[in-house]
Amino acid sequence: MKHAYLLAAVAACATPTPHDLPQAPWIADTSQLPPTAHPVGPLSEHYRAIGGQIVTAARVDRGAYAKLEYLTDRIGNRLAGSASLDKAIAWARQAMTDDGLVTHTEKVMVPHWVRNTEEAELVSPTARPLRILGLGGTIGTPKAGLTAPVVVVHDFAELEAKADAEKGAIVLFDVPMPAWTEAEGSHYGDIVKYRSTGASAAAKHGAVAILMRSVTARSLRTPHTGALRYADDAPKIPAAAVTTEDAALITRLASHGPVTVHLRLGAEKLDDVESANVIGELAGSALPDEVVVIGGHIDSWDVGQGAHDDGAGIVTMMHALATIKKLGLHPRRTIRVVCFVNEENGVRGAKAYAADHAAELGRTAFALESDSGGFAPRGFTLQAKDAEGMHRARARMADIISLVKDLGVTKLVENFSGTDVEPMVESGVVAGELVTDGRTYFDIHHTDADTLDKVDPQELADDVAVVALVAFIVADMPGRLDSP
Ligand SMILES: [Zn+2]
């Protein structure tokens, strides 16, 4: 009932008119397309002409941006359990239906955590407000808040060394994230473990709360939220992110003497609620039971607009398939867009998809995700169950992406996929993620600054072009990426 109501409500709103693709006379007569059943020679040779048509059409199309504008400006951020997520789910289904795809939703129960009001301030040696965001999933403080001395640590070794001082204290994890480099990327994984597990580690020493330096290398005093994970064998304590500037201030003050902070978090965990993964597909012309999944996550944190994370990802996938459909192309396998729900604070959508489609995973040729922001495309990650499959998938993907090397798409990262597709790898599915130009992603990741203005329309269109090309070829080629 709830969803039927929302669908009607959204349909009544002005749905954006996608910019029309330029007329493409070369595909008016599909008999002119290269034969797709039995290509010989390298994939890039066979698909060069049709690939060029897909890329040319997608790069001048602003339909993905129009979709993202509607999602971000009209619906906004969309945490699991929120009314705006329900609206986004109804919108995504309607938008894909309008694009001519066959759509449905698949029920998923999701956690329902709400932030409510929160505040923090330095009490001594100087009084000053602190900019914070409670970490996702944190418990609240007592209603009146808590006031405690701060112990600053820079890693888990220091947390252990200062264990005696941490009883009754607020532990500040002041762990700076290095600047992004071409060679090493963001170091997000190295730093984010403190956000995920720091609260329980400090609670084992009797800490009453933690503050986490925001996981970013650059800041304009913007706090970054993100999920924490409470351990079963430690008391649950409140946890909030502070800005890098405020973390540095507290660390400087603490080097001269005691620092006291007041923290008040109104967060609470409510009962799980019903939500859904949203599916839109184009049936395969020859092997409709074989599937190529392309997806992203429809939920976001409850701050900003969830524009790069991961509004850009879902509109890239939605519009890539819309483009293939609009060009009148009929790949041999089914291409299925999956807007996974609850990636940010539970991954329930991805787990439900892998479980509900278990019988079909043997016929799933590829599962591609986009969840690294809608920046310029740079390549793909790939993950396969075994090393042989990995090598073969890598070789074929290198051949395919040679078609878009002029767009700067050259990177292939092995043995990594993405949160929403990784649960399928164990069942033999080759999975991967679109790699984008990640230089600035973590500047705005999980913040109030993740807004549409940070997304470049041409870069987003280029993502669509590259995904549409890869999805089409992988869905149409004779074997699979990992076939012997
Ligand atoms: Zn994301």
Q: Which of 445, 372, 375, 419 is nearest to 214 (CA)?
A: 445
- Cβ atoms of residues 341 and 275 within 8 Å: yes
Distance 297 CA to ligand 1 centre (A): 7
- Across residues 324-341, what is the average pLDDT? 98
Amino acid at 378: R
Residue 129 Ramachandran class (φ > 0 left, ψ -120 to 50 alpha, else beta): beta
Bond before 99 cis per omega within 30 degrees: no
Across the chain, mean pLDDT equals 92
428: left (phi over 0), alpha (psi -120 to 50) or beta: left
Which letter does DSSP use for residue 245 in this model?
H
CA of 142 to the centre of ligand 1 (A): 31
Rounded to the nearest angstrom, the distance between the alpha carbon of 474 and the centre of ligand 1 is 24
Segment 147-171 shows an average pLDDT of: 98
**By CB neighbour count within 10 A (0-12 exposed, 13-18 middle, 19+ buried), where does 364 fall?**
buried
Residue 4 parent element (H or E): helix 2-12
Q: Can you give the pLDDT at residue 19?
A: 33
pLDDT band at 36 (very low <50, low <70, confident <90, very high): very low
Q: Where are the alpha helices (DSSP H) in 231-347?
A: 244-254, 312-326
One-letter amino acid identity for 203?
A
Does the pLDDT at position 38 exceed 90? no
Whether residue 399 is predicted with pLDDT greater than 50 in this model: the reply is yes
| Spacing, Cα 307 to ligand 1 middle (Å) | 10
Contact 310, 349 (CB under 8 A): no
C-beta contacts of 49-52 below 8 A and 24+ residues apart: 50/329, 50/472, 51/403, 51/404, 51/469, 51/472, 51/473, 52/403
E-assigned strands of 360-414?
364-369, 377-383, 411-414
| pTM score, whole prediction | 0.91
* CA 343 / ligand 1 centre spacing (Å): 7
Q: Please, are residues 323 and 61 in contact by the beta-carbon 8 Å criterion?
A: yes
| % residues pLDDT > 70 (the chain) | 92
The encoded tokens of residue 171 equal 């532990």
**Given a cut of 50, is residue 418 above it in pLDDT?**
yes
Q: What is the pLDDT of residues 201-216, one digit of tens each?
A: 999 999 999 999 999 9
The rounded distance, in Å, linking the Cα atoms of 23 and 20 is 8
Residue type, 235: P
Of the listed 69, 290, 343, 369, which one is catalytic? 343
CB atoms within 10 A of CB 140: 19
Q: Kindly indicate the confidence band of residue 162, based on its pLDDT and cuts at 50, 70 and 90.
A: very high
User: Per-residue pLDDT averaged across 48-67, rounded?
Assistant: 98
Q: Is 121 a catalytic residue?
A: no
Under the banding of pLDDT at 50, 70 and 90, the label for residue 34 is very low
The CA–CA distances, whole Å, from 220 to 7, 131, 337 equal 39, 11, 36
Q: Which residue ranges form the domains of the chain, and what is each CATH number?
A: 2-14+36-110+273-476 (3.40.630.10), 116-266 (3.50.30.30)
Tokens 């609470």 locate to 268
Q: What is the pLDDT of residue 41?
A: 61
pLDDT tens digit sequence for 284-315: 999 999 999 999 999 999 999 999 999 999 99
Is the pLDDT reported for residue 15 higher than 50?
Answer: no
- Lowest model confidence (mean pLDDT) among 162-171, 184-193, 198-207, 225-234: 184-193
Confidence band, pLDDT 50/70/90 cuts, at residue 25:
very low
Whether the predicted pLDDT of 191 surpasses 90: yes
Ligand 1: distance of its center to the CA of 331 in Å? 29
Q: Is 351 exposed, middle or buried (0-12, 13-18, 19+ CB in 10 A)?
A: middle
* pLDDT at residue 13 tops 90: no
Of 276, 226, 291, 272, nearest to 424 by C-alpha is: 291
Least confident stretch, 41-50, 58-67, 88-97, 125-134: 41-50
Residue 50 near residue 33, CB atoms below 8 Å: yes
Cα(303) to ligand 1 centroid in Å equals: 13
| 340 three-class SS | strand
| % of the chain at pLDDT higher than 90 | 91
pLDDT in tens, 336-379: 999 999 999 999 999 999 999 999 999 999 999 999 999 999 99
